[in-house]
Structure 1
Amino acid sequence: MRVIQIIDSLDAGGAERMAVQIANELYAAGHQSHLCATRKEGLLKKSIHESVGYIFLEKKGRIGIKAMTKLKTYIVKNKIEIIHAHSTSFFTATVIKWWLPSIKLVWHDHYGNAEEVENRKAGTLKKCSRFFNGIISVNELLKDWSIRNLKPSKVVYLRNFVSNTLKQQLLKPLPGSTGKRIVHLANLRPQKDHITLIRAFKEVYKNSPDWNLLLVGLDFQDDYSREIKFKIKDLKLDDHIHLLGSREDTPAILEACDIGVLSSKSEGLPVALLEYGMAGLPVVATDVGACKEVVSDYGAVVPAQNPATLTQAIQEFIENPEESKSMAHSFQQHVMTTFGAAFYIEKLETFYSSL
């Protein structure tokens, strides 16, 4: 098959990681695989396999005729059969579908506010969905929403997966002491609820003052970012909570940490949890989206927006290191078996073929 993944940016977010991983794994499975970034490149560009075809559109404005023409030319030249559009790139893909009606169009829904999906504004999406040949949803809530609200003939739920990543070296030393680091991998967006985690860590710090919290993710320098920084300063945690930003050496950072936390108040199926698993971390996650399904019985799942229960779960891992290691190993095996690339690509190939 000849397939192109379309994503609006290559910043290190969950949807972006999935687009790159799918492109790489399709190539590994013997397909002619391509990837298109429409508006912005980013750290993940370096993760694209050298044999995956790549095009950057530099799209400006809502439609961007010049960029659309560039993409159409690329698709025709490479005889692409399937467009796999991720998240907000559905509009770009729909315009190409208008111009090339015979091409198959799949939209991949990574919507992060699945808990509030009924409030989702879907006017343009609903109109475009008439041109979709299929939809992939990352959890059951999103699948049900698409069936009720959109127009495609096929909707499937495919759980996110994680690829085996090569061992990396840290680009620079990490703050905190070896054996005493908690990591939170998420871009600085409100639905990731860093504030609840910071409040929880304040209590952890009282009991375990030698531990540090590393916040890894893109800083958008907006009001939410400023709120996070103010809360850290207000609680006098400047020396123990560290904002590392978006990093190219994320796998190495996870390997150097000891507990993985996800404190979101809304999620789809977070790739961060799968990456924690591959890194062999014990995990604490909130009960939103597909987090409970991913973690299963191999970690701690707590209510969202509840600092007390988050504190308790983290503290239990700190105080019971042997049990933590055992759970981390079991979780790693669970992720490798259940959320591995081979199983996912087989399901994806079947879905593509059904179109």
Structure 2
Amino acid sequence: MKVLHVSGAKSWGGNEQQLLYLVEELEKYEVEQYLFCYENTPLHQKARDFPVKIKTIRKSKPYSTRYAKALSHLIREEKIDLIHLHTSDSVTGFMVTDMFHSLKTPTVFAKKGISSRVSALSKIKYNYRNINRIMCVSNYVKRNFSPYIKKKNLHKLVTVHDGVKVEKFPAAPVFTLREKLEIGEGTYLIGNIANHTKAKDLSTLILMMDHLVNNLSIKDVHLVQIGEFSRLTNELRQLIETRKLKDHITLLGFTENASSFLPQFDVFVISSIREGGPTSLIEALYKKTPVISTRVGIVEDAIVDGENGFSTPVGEPEALAQKIKLLKEDPALAQKFRELSYTTFLNNFTAEVLGKQTLKIYEDVINDYK
């Protein structure tokens, strides 16, 4: 089987890591894989170390003639059996290319998240007749995406969770957070890994700390937030300053292998208002770090509130703070969360499971296409 992965990613994130995990898993089943992506992107650079043949194109609009010619040529030259679209703009590129070049190749699309709004054009492309399956990363995404899919196409929606590779020798962190940031052992270390985007709602994370420190008078806590800075970062810094939390919050910025820091956290907190995953949640389950999260993405599939973690409504910093207080005061509960979450991870969220489920969908789509 020859599979072509198509991605328009220009930066690095959990979705790109998932693509490479999938590449590794599919190799075990002797799937010959190709990657069509933009040149000199983080995905292009990192994919060089993986078992996939790479075809790059200079950054251009996915509906451009150059894009369509390059994609159609690759599909025909390599006799691709199935196309796997990994980003929304790759769906645009595929649809335009198919309309002008009649690709006649089975195609699946990985739907990784929910946008704040869906345009009329997006509704058209997601319902495009030659997309054979839409693989939703969680039941949350599937449920929230369904209203934009025509009734005749709803059968195309399936749920395939992200997965994390089980490492025999996990990468060691480049430094110890407590040492680097001079945080004492008696301080409760709260962690978050998220780039500075609106969907991550990091202001709620800061307001959570405000409630803990200034309203509940819990001073022995420190939040370490890891993630790529953006135009929103200054607003977050101003909020930290206004709430007098400079001694309790560190914005660390982008850090390589951020998930390697997870075991150093006493608790991992997610404040997002929209998510597909996130992959960081799965990594926390794997690293046995207790999780408190808003109810987004795979949270409802991975966390049973009070059993193996805590979940709260979106946009309620006080609720997150109360859960942290409860967990901080109950080490036995934290240990229970660690063990049960790890079991949940092994059963449902490994890269091995991702590979098997994806391959089965590939086979079904190809068989249906014949």
Same fold at TM > 0.5: yes
Hey, what does 1:158 align to over in structure 2?
160
Hey, what does 1:36 align to over in structure 2?
36
Q: 1:194–1:282: structure 2 CA closer, same or farther, 3 Å change rule?
A: same
How far apart are the structure 1 equivalents of 2:321 and 2:327? 10
Q: Kindly provide the CA deviation profile for residues 181-208 of structure 1, in whole angstroms up to 9, marking residues without a partner as x.
A: 2111222111211111111112333544
Hey, what does 1:126 align to over in structure 2?
124
Q: Are the counterparts in 1 of residues 85 and 110 from structure 2 also a CA contact under 8 Å?
A: yes
Q: 1:236–1:90: structure 2 CA closer, same or farther, 3 Å change rule?
A: same
Note the 1:78-157 alignment, pairs <5 A: 78-88=78-88, 89-98=90-99, 99-113=101-115, 119-127=117-125, 129-138=128-137, 139=139, 140-142=142-144, 144-148=146-150, 151=153, 154-157=156-159
Hey, what does 1:170 align to over in structure 2?
173
How far apart are the structure 2 equivalents of 1:314 and 1:351? 40
How far apart are the structure 1 equivalents of 2:36 and 2:255? 22
Structure 1 gap ranges (5+)? none
User: What letter corresponds to residue 144 of structure 1 in structure 2?
Assistant: S
User: What letter corresponds to residue 34 of structure 1 in structure 2?
Assistant: Y
**1:85 CA displacement:** 0.8
Q: Find the residue that maps to 1:29 and give its secondary structure.
A: coil
Q: CA RMSD in A?
A: 2.6
Q: Find the residue that maps to 2:46 and give its secondary structure.
A: helix
How far apart are the structure 1 equivalents of 2:136 and 2:98? 20
Q: Are the counterparts in 2 of residues 177 and 211 from structure 1 also a CA contact under 8 Å?
A: no
Hey, what does 1:189 align to over in structure 2?
197
Q: Find the residue that maps to 1:212 and give its secondary structure.
A: strand
Matched, 1:247 2:259: no
Hey, what does 1:54 align to over in structure 2?
54
Q: Kindly provide the CA deviation profile for residues 315-337 of structure 1, in whole angstroms up to 9, marking residues without a partner as x.
A: 22222223212211210121121
**1:228 CA displacement:** 1.4
Q: Are the counterparts in 1 of residues 111 and 134 from structure 2 also a CA contact under 8 Å?
A: yes
How far apart are the structure 2 equivalents of 1:278 and 1:260? 12
How far apart are the structure 1 equivalents of 2:50 and 2:362? 24
Q: Find the residue that maps to 2:324 and give its secondary structure.
A: helix
How far apart are the structure 2 equivalents of 1:291 and 1:63? 35
Q: Kindly provide the CA deviation profile for residues 135-184 of structure 1, in whole angstroms up to 9, marking residues without a partner as x.
A: 11222314523543785862212222222244112234423345732111
User: What letter corresponds to residue 91 of structure 1 in structure 2?
Assistant: T
Q: Are the counterparts in 2 of residues 136 and 158 from structure 1 also a CA contact under 8 Å?
A: yes
Across the two proteins, how many residue pairs are aligned to each other?
Answer: 349
Note the 1:230-269 alignment, pairs <5 A: 230-269=238-277
Note the 1:285-324 alignment, pairs <5 A: 285-296=293-304, 297-324=307-334
Q: Are the counterparts in 2 of residues 5 and 36 from structure 1 also a CA contact under 8 Å?
A: yes
**1:27 CA displacement:** 1.7
User: What letter corresponds to residue 86 of structure 2 in structure 1?
Assistant: H
Structure 1 outlier segments of 4+, above 6 Å: none
**1:43 CA displacement:** 7.0
User: What letter corresponds to residue 2 of structure 2 in structure 1?
Assistant: R
How far apart are the structure 2 equivalents of 1:240 and 1:107? 42
Q: Find the residue that maps to 2:124 and give its secondary structure.
A: helix
Q: Are the counterparts in 2 of residues 260 and 283 from structure 1 also a CA contact under 8 Å?
A: yes
Q: 1:12–1:294: structure 2 CA closer, same or farther, 3 Å change rule?
A: farther
Q: Find the residue that maps to 1:239 and give its secondary structure.
A: coil
**1:3 CA displacement:** 1.2
Q: Match for 1:331 among 317, 320, 341?
A: 341
User: What letter corresponds to residue 299 of structure 2 in structure 1?
Assistant: C
User: What letter corresponds to residue 161 of structure 1 in structure 2?
Assistant: G
Q: Find the residue that maps to 1:131 and give its secondary structure.
A: coil
Q: Are the counterparts in 2 of residues 8 and 39 from structure 1 also a CA contact under 8 Å?
A: no
Q: Are the counterparts in 1 of residues 123 and 148 from structure 2 also a CA contact under 8 Å?
A: no
Q: 1:269–1:50: structure 2 CA closer, same or farther, 3 Å change rule?
A: closer
Q: Find the residue that maps to 2:150 and give its secondary structure.
A: helix
Q: 1:51–1:87: structure 2 CA closer, same or farther, 3 Å change rule?
A: closer
Hey, what does 1:280 align to over in structure 2?
288
User: What letter corresponds to residue 173 of structure 2 in structure 1?
Assistant: L
**1:302 CA displacement:** 1.0
